[in-house]
Chains A and B, each alone.
Chain A
Amino acid sequence: MRRRLMRALGMIALALGMVIVGRGPLYAADGSIRIGSFLAVTGPASFLGDPELKTLQMYIELINTDGGVNGRQLELIHYDSQANPKNAVGFVKRLIDQDEVDIIIGGSASGETLAVMPLVDKAEVPFISLAGSIKIIDPVQKWVFKTPHTDRMACQKIFEHMQGEGIQRIGMISGTGGFGKSMQGQCQEVAGDYGIEILADETYGPKDTDMTAQLTKIKGTEGIQAVLNPGFGQGPAIVTKNFRQLGFEVPMYQSHGVASKKYIELAGEAAEGVRLPAAALLVADKLPDTDRQKPVVVAYKQAFEDRHGAGSVSTFGGHAYDALFMAVEAMQRCQCSDAAGVRDELEKTAGFMGTAGEVTMSPEDHLGLGLSAFRMLEVKGGDWALLD
C-alpha cells in the first residue's frame, strides 16, 4: 500500500518536473533579442507571407552567424495568421503576453495589421507592419511603423505618368478585396490633383473569373483614354486577358499589386504594353549603376534567389528585409533593445536605404518614403522595362 503510494507520488513529482522543464525554453530570456512575427504564410495572401517569412528567417540566420546585434543573438518567434484578422489578434496577444517579444515585425495584409494596432499600442511594443494601407500610418500611432509604400503613393505615381502622357479621362476597374477597394478609394481622392477624371468605375469580386461584362461597359463609355486596374491576385491577370480580348485601343495601367513575374506568366501575351508602378527591386539588374538603391536591391535579390531559386524574389519579401534591418540598425544606434528605446530610435531613422526606397522617418511620418520609391515599368517581351 505504502509502496504504491510512494510510487504514485514519485510519478506525480516526475510529471511536475517534466512540466517545469518543458516550460523552461518558453521563458528563458538567455540574452537573445526576441523578434515576434505574424504573417500570412498560408491562405489567400500566402504570396505575401511566404517570401516575408523566408526573408526574416534567412537574414536572422545570417545576422546571428555574424555575431548578432549588440552582441546578442536574434530569435524569431513566428505564427501563421493566414491573413485572418481574428487569428492575428490571438497571435499578437500571445507574442506580447507569453513570448514577451521585444519588437513585432509582421502583418502581411492590411486587415490583420489594423486589427492588432490597438493591442500593440496598449502593450507599448514597437510594431513594423508589412502591409500596404495608408490607414496604418495616417493618423500616426506612436508604436506603429510600416515599410511598404501606400496605395495613395501608387495612385499618385500612376496619375503623374498619365499626366505626362496627356491622359485626362480614364476608366477604372477595381477588385473588391481589401487591396483593390482601398486603392480604388485612394485613387478617387487624388485623381483631381492631377486633373484626371474617372468616367467609369467598375468592380469585380476577388474570386471572379470573368470581367468582360464590366470591361465592355468601360469600352462603351465615351472618351476613355486609359484603363486603370487596382487589384491583386489572379483578378488583374484575368482583367488583362479580357482587356485584350475586347480589343481596347487605349493603354492599360495596373497597380503595384501585380508587381511579380507571376502576373506576366498568368496574363501571358495579353500583358504586353501594360504599365505599372513598382519598387526598384523588380528591375534590380536594369537600374543604372549610378542609382543609389541599386546595391541594396541587387544584394537582396541575389541572396534570396541563391536560396530559393531564380526568379523567386518579390517586393513583398523586400518589405520584411527593410523592416528587419531598420529595426536592427535602430537597436545598434541606441545600443538597446527595450521597447521605448527602440521605438524612439526607429522614429529617428534617416537616410536608410531599403528595397522600397530611401526612408527618413519623423514623429509625423512613420513610413518615410517619397514618390521616388516607385519606378514606372512597362511589360515588354515578357519582362519588365523601365519607363522613366
Chain B
Amino acid sequence: MLAELVQFLFAGLTAGAIYALVGLGFGLIYNASHVINFAQGEFVMLGGMTTVFAAAAGLPLAAAVAVAILVTVAAGLALEMVAVPTRNASVVTLIIITIGASISYRGAAQAFFDKQFHTLPSFSGEDPIDFLGAAILPQTLWVLGITVLIVIALQLFFHRTLLGKAVLATSHNRLAARLVGINVQLVLLLSFGLSAALGAIAGVLITPITSTNFEVGIMLGLKGFCAAILGGLGSGVGAVVGGLLVGLIEAFGAGYISSEYKDAMAFGIILLVLFFMPSGLFGKRTTERV
C-alpha cells in the first residue's frame, strides 16, 4: 500500500519537476514581455534532440549537454530578436509569432535531425533504488535534484543580483524601469535566453526516462503552460507548485482512479482552480484602477 503510494508520488514528482521547469520558462518570458511563449515546449525538444545528436557525433555527454544548451539559447535569442522588434505589434500578435516559431523549430528539428525517437543513457545507471518498497530510477533523483538547484539559483539571481533585480523591475513596469536606466532590451534578451536554457535542461534531464523526438515539445509545452497558469502566470513559486501539482494529479489519478482519464483529471482540476481563483494559486490579484 505504502509502496504504491511512494511509487505514484515519485512518478508524479518526476513529471511535475519537468512541468515546473517549463512553467518557469513561461513565467520568465511573460514577466519580461507579457508574451506567452508557445515555443517553450520546443526548447525542451531542442535540448534533448541536440544532446542526442551531439553525443552520437562523438562528444562526451557533458560537452553534448553544453552544446545543446547553447544551441537552444541561440534559438531563444533568435526568437526574441525576431519577435520583439515588431515594436508596435500587440501582445496577441507576438503570441502568434511564438506559435509560428514553435512550428518552425519543430520543422527544423525534423529536417536537421530526423523523425525517429531517440534516447540518452541515464546519467548514473539504470538500476532502480529501493525506497520504502518503491523502485526509483537514479535519473529521477537527477531530475528532482537539478530542479531544486535551478529554483534556488533563480531565487538568488532575482533577489541578490543587480541584473536579476533589473529583470524584476522591468516585469513590474517597463516604462519606469527604462526611466531609471535599466537596459530593457538586454533584460528581454536575457529572459528569452534564460527561459530557453531552462527548457534545454529540462529536455536533457527527461530524455533518458521518456526518450525524445521532434514532436515531444507540444505536450510538454502544454503541460508546462498549465503549470504556469495553475500557479499563477509570472509567479516563480507558482510555476513550481503548479508543475508538481499537475504531475501529482496525473500520477495519482492514473494509479488510483483510471488511467483513461488522467489528462482529463489534470485539466479538470486546473479549470476548477481557475474558476474560483482566476489568477491562479499564487498569482497577483490585480485590481483595475478606474
A binds B: yes
Q: Inside 8 A of B206's CB, which chain A residues have their CB?
A: 209
Are B7 and A213 within 8 A (Cβ)?
A: yes
Interface residue from B4, B10, B116, B119 paired with A220 (Cβ < 8 Å): B4
Chain A's nearest CB lies how many Å from the CB of B215? Answer: 7
B1 shortest CB reach to chain A, Å: 9
Report whether A212 and B11 are in contact in the complex, using a CB–CB cutoff of 8 Å: yes
Partner of B211, one of A44, A217, A234: A234
Contacts of A46 in B (CB 8 A): 115
Cβ contacts A238-259/B at 8 Å (1 or 0 each)? 1001001111000000000000
Given the known interface contacts A204-B259, A213-B259, A245-B128, the answer about A47 and B211 at a Cβ–Cβ threshold of 8 Å is no
Residues of A within 8 A of B216 (CB): 207
Q: Does A380 contact B (CB under 8 A)?
A: no
Contact B128 A233 (CB under 8 A): no
Residue from A42, A203, A266 within 8 A of B110 (CB atoms):
A42
Contact of B209 with A210 in the complex, beta carbons under 8 Å: yes
- With A213-B255, A245-B128 as contacts: A234 and B213 at CB distance below 8 Å: yes
- Judging by beta carbons under 8 Å apart, are B260 and A213 in contact? no
Cα of A53 to Cα of B250 in the assembled complex, Å: 39
On chain B, the residues within 8 Å of A208 by CB distance are 262
Query: Known contacts being A210-B15, A234-B211, is A47 close to B251, with CB within 8 Å?
Result: no
Which single residue of chain A is at the shortest CB-CB distance from B12? A213
Contact A216 B260 (CB under 8 A): no
Q: Are B251 and A213 in contact (CB under 8 A)?
A: yes
Interface residues of A in 209-224 (CB under 8 A from B): 209-210, 212-214, 216-217, 220
- From known contacts A47-B116, A266-B211, infer whether A217 and B126 are also in contact, taking CB-CB under 8 Å: no
Is A269 among interface residues, defined by CB-CB distance under 8 A? yes
Tell whether A176 pairs with B260 under 8 Å between CB atoms, given A47-B116, A50-B115, A265-B119: yes
**Residues 199 to 243 of chain B near chain A (Cβ within 8 Å):** 206, 209-211, 213, 215-216, 218-219
Residue of B nearest to A215 (CB): B7
A268 within 8 A of partner (CB): yes
**Does B128 lie within 8 Å of A262, measured CB to CB?**
no
In the complex, A268 Cα to B126 Cα: how many Å?
A: 10
**A205 to B210 CA separation, bound complex (whole angstroms):** 13
Does B117 touch A at the CB level, under 8 Å? yes
Decide if A69 is an interface residue (CB 8 Å cutoff): no
Given A209-B15, A245-B137, answer yes or no on A233-B255 (Cβ-Cβ < 8 Å).
no
Compute how far the CA of A270 lies from the CA of B116 in the bound complex, rounded to whole angstroms: 19
Least Cβ distance of B258 to chain A in Å?
A: 8
A345 to B219, CA, bound (A): 47
A202 at the interface (CB under 8 A from B): yes
Residue of B with least CB distance to A263:
B117
Query: Which residues 250-290 of B have a CB within 8 angstroms of A?
Result: 250-252, 254-255, 259-260, 262-263
What residue in chain A is nearest B220 (Cβ atoms)?
A209
Contact residues of A with B, CB < 8 Å?
42, 44, 46-47, 50, 176, 202-205, 207-210, 212-214, 216-217, 220, 233-234, 237-238, 241, 244-247, 262, 265-266, 268-270
Q: Which 9 A-B residue pairings sit nearest by Cβ, starting from the closest?
A: A209-B210, A213-B255, A213-B254, A234-B117, A212-B11, A207-B219, A46-B115, A216-B7, A245-B128
Complex A-B: 17 CB contacts under 8 Å: A203-B260, A204-B254, A205-B262, A207-B216, A207-B218, A209-B209, A212-B8, A213-B8, A214-B254, A214-B259, A216-B255, A234-B117, A238-B210, A246-B128, A246-B135, A262-B116, A268-B119
Given contacts A205-B263, A210-B11, A214-B259, 7 further A-B contacts (CB under 8 A): A202-B259, A204-B259, A210-B251, A216-B255, A234-B117, A245-B128, A245-B136
